[in-house]
Copies of this chain bind each other. A is one copy, B any other.
C-alpha cells in the first residue's frame, strides 16, 4: 500500500502543536468558566434541514454532507439520477451534514431543550466546525471555534461582560490587542440619515466593511452605487470617522434608531468604566461585520503587533431562534479564533517560556536492578503528582540520553548502582544541561517546586 495521506484542508496535531493548542483552549475555557458560563456539546452531525439555508447560498455549498447508510440509491430521487442533477439528488441520498458553526447548533439546542434551561442561558462551546472552503495557508476545512453566548436577555451588561472576556483572554495569553466597538443601530441610523434605502442596508454594511482593505476613494465610489451623491458619500465617510459619541449625537438627531444605538453603546461603556480593561477599547463606526443577523452592538478584536486581521468578534442578534420557530429570544455572543491566536502566539514567540506539554522527568537506568528500581520510583513520584516517563529497557546510555533530550522532558533522573546505594539521585536539567544530586526522599518535592517556579 502506498503511503497514506489525509484529506486536503485537514491536518494532524503533533504533540507540541496539540499541547500549545490545549494551552490556548484551557486559558479561554478557564475565563469562560470564571464568568459563569457552562459548557455544552452538540453532535458533529446535524440534520441537513437544520443547517441548510442558514449561511446563505455560498454557505450551503460549503456544507459537508454525509451519505445515507445502506443502499441509499434505492431511495434516491430517480428523476434527479436520470438528469444527473446533483443539486436535486443530494437531499434524497443525504440527510445529515457536519456542523458549519456553533451558532446555528446553539439556536437548535435552545429550542429543543428550552424546558431544561433557565433564561438567560450562558453557554460556552469549544468544538471543531467543518467547511468545504478551498484550502489555503491558514485556512482549513476543519477548525475549532471557541464561542460564548448569552441567550434570552436584553441586558447590555452582557455586552460589557463579553468585552471583559475578550480583554482577559488576550491579556492572559500576552497578546496585545485593540478592541473595536460599534452598534448596528448606529449604522442603520447613519444610513437613514443619509437617505440610504432599507433594502440597500446590507450592501451598505458590506461596503463600509471594506474600509480597512480598499482606499477611501473606492469606498466612496461604491457608495454612490447606492444612490448617494459624491458629496453625501464624502460627508458620510466623515461621519464614520467620529469616535466620540457626544459628537455623533447631533448628526443622528433625526434617527430614533441611531439614537437608540448611541444609548446602547453609552450604557455598555458605563459598565466598563466600573472596572479597568487591560487593552484599548475604541468606538469605530466603520466596523460593520458582514453577518446579517447582528442587530445591536458589534465588536471585533485586532492584534496590534501582528498583521493578521481579526482574531475575535461578535455581537448581538435579536432573533437567534426565530428560524426554528421560536420568536423573541435575543442573543449576544463572541467567538475567538483559536487558529489565528495560535499563529499570533507563534509569531510573537509567546509559547517559548511556557514549557508546554513537557513531562517533568524521565528515569534512565544503567542496569537491570536499577530499571526495576526506576519502575518503583516512578510509581511513587506519580503518586506525588509528578509526571514521569521511564525508559523502557536497558538500551545503551547514549541512546537513552538521546531519547531524553528530544525536548519532551524537563529533567532526566539517572539511576545506577551508586545511586541505589547512596539514595542520592542524579538529576540532569535538560534545558540548561546542569546536573545535581537530590536525596531520594526529596525528588518529588524538588520536581514539583521546579514546575511551580516555571509557571
A binding-site residues for B, Cβ under 8 Å: 1-7, 10-15, 18-19, 21-22, 33-36, 38-47, 49-50, 61-62, 64-67, 69-74, 81, 84-86, 89-90, 93-96, 98, 108-109, 111-113, 116-118, 120, 122-123, 128, 130, 132, 141-142, 150, 153, 155, 157-158, 160-161, 164, 168, 271, 274-275, 323-325, 357, 359, 362, 372, 375-376, 379-380, 382, 385-390, 392-393, 403, 406, 408
Output the least CB separation between A314 and chain B (Å).
17
Q: How far is the CA of A380 from the CA of B275 in the complex (A)?
A: 8
Take A38-B19, A39-B15, A157-B375 as given contacts and tell me if A3 and B112 are in contact as well, using a CB distance cutoff of 8 Å: yes
Q: How far is the CA of A419 from the CA of B208 in the complex (A)?
A: 48
Output the least CB separation between A86 and chain B (Å).
4
Q: How far is the CA of A153 from the CA of B74 in the complex (A)?
A: 49
Q: For A161, what are the chain B residues with a Cβ–Cβ distance below 8 Å?
A: 390
Does A357 contact B38, Cβ atoms closer than 8 Å?
Answer: yes
Output the least CB separation between A450 and chain B (Å).
16
The 4 residue pairs across chains A and B that have the minimum distance between CB atoms: A36-B389, A155-B392, A15-B38, A10-B43
Partner of A392, one of B11, B34, B86, B120: B120
Does B43 contact A382, Cβ atoms closer than 8 Å?
Answer: no
Which B residue's beta carbon lies closest to that of A47?
Answer: B7
A-B contacts, 23 listed (Cβ < 8 Å): A1-B324, A2-B325, A4-B111, A4-B112, A6-B43, A6-B50, A7-B96, A12-B109, A19-B39, A21-B41, A35-B388, A36-B389, A44-B98, A62-B69, A71-B86, A74-B86, A157-B375, A161-B390, A164-B379, A274-B376, A275-B375, A275-B376, A275-B379
Which B residue's beta carbon lies closest to that of A326?
Answer: B3
Output the least CB separation between A392 and chain B (Å).
3
Output the least CB separation between A428 and chain B (Å).
16
Does A43 contact B1, Cβ atoms closer than 8 Å?
Answer: no
Q: For A95, what are the chain B residues with a Cβ–Cβ distance below 8 Å?
A: 7
Does A42 contact B12, Cβ atoms closer than 8 Å?
Answer: yes
Does B67 contact A12, Cβ atoms closer than 8 Å?
Answer: no
Output the least CB separation between A155 and chain B (Å).
3
Residue of A81, A375, A390 with most chain B CB atoms under a 10 A cut-off: A375
Take A64-B69, A325-B3, A362-B36 as given contacts and tell me if A375 and B274 are in contact as well, using a CB distance cutoff of 8 Å: yes
Q: For A84, what are the chain B residues with a Cβ–Cβ distance below 8 Å?
A: 73-74
Q: For A141, what are the chain B residues with a Cβ–Cβ distance below 8 Å?
A: 45
Partner of A132, one of B69, B387, B406: B69
Output the least CB separation between A14 and chain B (Å).
6
Does A18 contact B42, Cβ atoms closer than 8 Å?
Answer: no
Q: How far is the CA of A379 from the CA of B64 in the complex (A)?
A: 42
Does A112 contact B379, Cβ atoms closer than 8 Å?
Answer: no
